[in-house]
Amino acid sequence: MKLPPNTHKNKAFSDTDTMSRLQAMLSEKDGVIGEKETLIAEQSDIIEKKSDVIDSLKKRVELLEEYLRLSNSKRFGSSSEQTPPEQGNLFNEAEATSEPEQTEPELPTTSEPKAKTGRKPFAKNLPRTQVFAYLSDTEKEGAINTFFVKVREELDIIPAKVQVLEYMQEKAVFKDEQGTTTMKAAEVIKHPVPKAMGSINLMTYIIIAKYADGMPLYRLEGIIERYGGSISRTTLANYVIALGKQIQPLINLLRETQHAGSLIMADETRIQVLKEPGLAPTGDKFMWVTLGGKADQQSVLFDYDPSRARHVPMRLLHGFTHGYLQTDGYAGYNEVCRKNQLIQLGCMDHARRKFIEAQQSQPKGKKIKASKADMALSLINKLYGIERTIKHASNEKRLAVRQAKSMPILNTLQAWLTANKPRVATDSLTGKAMTYLHNQWDKLTVYCTDGQLRISNIMAENAIRPFAVGRRAWLFADTPAGANASAAHYSLIETARLHGIEPYAYLNTIFKAIPYAETVEDFEALLPWNYKRSITTV
DSSP 285-307: EEEEEEEE-STTS-EEEEEEES-
Radius of gyration, CA atoms only, the chain: 39
Rounded distance between C-alpha atoms, residue 507 and residue 493, angstroms: 8
Please check whether residue 365 is in contact with residue 340, taking contact to mean a CB–CB distance below 8 angstroms. Answer: no
CB atoms within 10 A of CB 167: 8
Rounded distance between C-alpha atoms, residue 341 and residue 350, angstroms: 24
The pLDDT value recorded for residue 45 is: 78
In three-state secondary structure terms, 7 is: helix
Please check whether residue 451 is in contact with residue 390, taking contact to mean a CB–CB distance below 8 angstroms. Answer: no
Helices (H), 309-406: 311-316, 334-339, 348-360, 372-389, 395-401
Strands 285-292 and 299-305, sheet pairing:
antiparallel
pLDDT-flagged residues of the chain (< 50)? 1, 84-111
The closest alpha carbon to 338, from 353, 317, 355, belongs to 317
Rounded distance between C-alpha atoms, residue 476 and residue 467, angstroms: 11
